[in-house]
Chain A
């Protein structure tokens, strides 16, 4: 097992009254969402959180008409586009920050005549003017980044609603926790080994943090519609068996970082780990059925 739990497992012996969670389960962002609220929060806090996620879905989806498809139509045709939707504006600003943080290894642009990736450097995004354009035809697919961003918006809504302890999940690979565990301490999590789900790959604890897991192996990566991971800096398809885990302050940043780690080669992975001190990243190359090496920071 890589890493380890620090504390808090087992029966706490607490004698407090049973803590009931309030729960919202629904489908959005192309996956199943679960919002578990344990502490604090107005009566409609969960509903507000759900609305926040659904609003992000409406703004960022490319599977039905949306503000994102509206700019995609223009950008794919080589034209500039107005960006009026406030959620899309915020998301694009978050993309800019994530691209910089990951040294260009996270890039949600796709398309172009040659199917090129890595288009963000060619994008001119003027947030104040509400306008975007690109030097070549391209389009946006926010993918997993959108899930993390949506969970961030839900967490914001819960905070505004007075929530103090909550666990938010989007498809099990994107997690945001608000506050600490309802029984005290941090939230203890274990991540299954991609080849042997009954075994633990890594254990870690979270508090007011976000977790993202990306992988080129395991059941999630075998979905028939799953596109290959492409390194945006050189267009190479990532074929190495790898699983990456990123813990960040926000869901969007965690998603960007886990994706960047996955497409990075080993050198770039080390650079990423060192670039954001204090954050926790795990970069696992898998060889056959066993994890062979860990680099680029560590999960404590």
Chain B
């Protein structure tokens, strides 16, 4: 490990600690303080990674940066993915093409599930059955029922279940939440979130193969809820977090408006999540225009936070009335001039273009920190507090949004969720 990285890690952790220490933060982000603490013990927690596609390999690279975890095994039935992952891990790391074989081989303390969404529940529950702790990519599962089953499965076996929501460990987000809790942007009544891309979301499939549904699982309804579970989940978690509550209902409209290429999931989604007391999250995601990218606009009566840009904008009063500014100068100069007043009082309400203030910081290792936190949770046998609740409700929100769009009806927040 380089000295530079050690320094940046320490700085990063200090920033997490600073951001997570504030009024209301212990309740809003109880995991952050725990996760940034110095790891205990000397033996690394041995992780077996199921699924070594793009995301799985990114996770492996982050695990390798942690101070308390090691990649002890990798598993993927698709040889090209497994070969790429093998190049990242130490020589001799156990490799498998079947997850059951990896679980039966023992030699690991926990699994990391980075497989297609429809397999999350089965792979997680199989690992729990094998007596292992589980870290699973978001969204939790393809159905709300399976999300609950994963929680019940972990609870009944007294195992740790952690879901990947890296924003929960991001110092900018933590700092943004801290400043929102301090009342800097006033009462938050709306979150406007979007994830807009301009690409087809397709992965290349080897010519002549029948692997399209395996590699492009995100495009098929049996395997994924598309934009909702793969992108919106992150932002719905952020919305719930800043709203400090859960939606009461969701309305939405989805369509395949651009990529009419045989995919089954929407390439355009637009939803409204209602919260208590008239507050709202307005969400959109699409795949043929990237102008507005990925952002959550946290809108309060006194200001706006845009955490992806790392900016906070205050609702600044309009500038001085020119005639009155001149009046003051005239008086100060001993001149008594006529005051032109009563002109236009309306100005076009264009978007504010002021730069706002920085929320601080830039490049982060929040995904790495997730795993350090997970490693400590595995060692202690206790989940990082509060994380699973955030993840569960984010997954439910995304799947509920899919239902609302499919049925074209407002869907009430379920009353029979698993207590977390």
Contact = CB atoms under 8 A, between A and B. Distances in A.
Contacts of B333: 18
Interface string B317-334: 110110110011001111
B341 interface: yes
B342 A213 contact: yes
Interface stretch (A24-32, A102-110, A230-238): A24-32
A172 B328 contact: no
Contacts of B341: 169, 172, 175, 189-191, 211
B337 interface: yes
Given A25-B317, A183-B331, A192 B336 contact: no
Given A19-B332, A169-B324, A219 B338 contact: no
A218 interface: yes
Interface in A218-267: 218-220, 222-223, 226, 245
A173 B346 CA distance: 11
Nearest to B337: A9
Given A172-B343, A173-B345, A192-B342, A36 B328 contact: yes
A27 B343 CA distance: 18
B317 A32 contact: yes
B332 A171 contact: no
Contacts of A181: 331, 336
Interface in B298-333: 315, 317-318, 320-321, 323-324, 327-328, 331-333
A66 interface: no
Nearest to B301: A64
A122 interface: no
A34 B324 contact: yes
A206 to B, nearest CB: 10
Given A16-B334, A21-B328, A26-B317, A188 B344 contact: no
Contacts of B346: 219-220, 222-223, 226
A23 B328 contact: yes
A130 interface: no
A191 B341 CA distance: 5
A82 interface: no
B324 A200 contact: no
The majority secondary structure among interface residues of chain B is loop
B320 A173 contact: no
Nearest to A170: B345
Contacts of B344: 172, 197, 218-220
Contacts of A203: 338
B340 interface: yes
A13 B335 CA distance: 8
B58 interface: no
A114 interface: no
A20 interface: yes
B338 to A, nearest CB: 4
Given A8-B336, A181-B336, A25 B320 contact: yes
B324 A20 contact: no
Interface in A158-200: 167, 169, 171-173, 175, 181-185, 187-192, 197, 200
Nearest to A218: B344
Interface string A7-48: 011111111101111010111000110101010000000000
A188 B321 contact: no
A222 to B, nearest CB: 7
B340 to A, nearest CB: 5
Contacts of A77: none
Given A197-B344, A220-B345, A190 B328 contact: no
Contact of B327 (A12, A36, A200, A220): A36
Nearest to B349: A224
Given A25-B317, A197-B343, A185 B324 contact: no
Contact of B321 (A11, A32, A197, A219): A32
Most chain A beta-carbon neighbours within 10 Å: one of B315, B320, B344:
B344
Contacts of A10: 335-337
A190 B343 contact: no
Contact of B336 (A15, A31, A188): A188
A220 B315 CA distance: 22
Interface of B: 315, 317-318, 320-321, 323-324, 327-328, 331-346
30 contacts: A5-B338, A8-B336, A10-B336, A11-B334, A11-B336, A12-B334, A13-B334, A14-B334, A20-B332, A23-B328, A25-B320, A27-B315, A31-B345, A34-B321, A171-B345, A172-B343, A173-B345, A175-B341, A175-B342, A181-B336, A188-B338, A191-B342, A192-B342, A192-B343, A197-B344, A200-B340, A213-B342, A218-B344, A220-B344, A220-B345
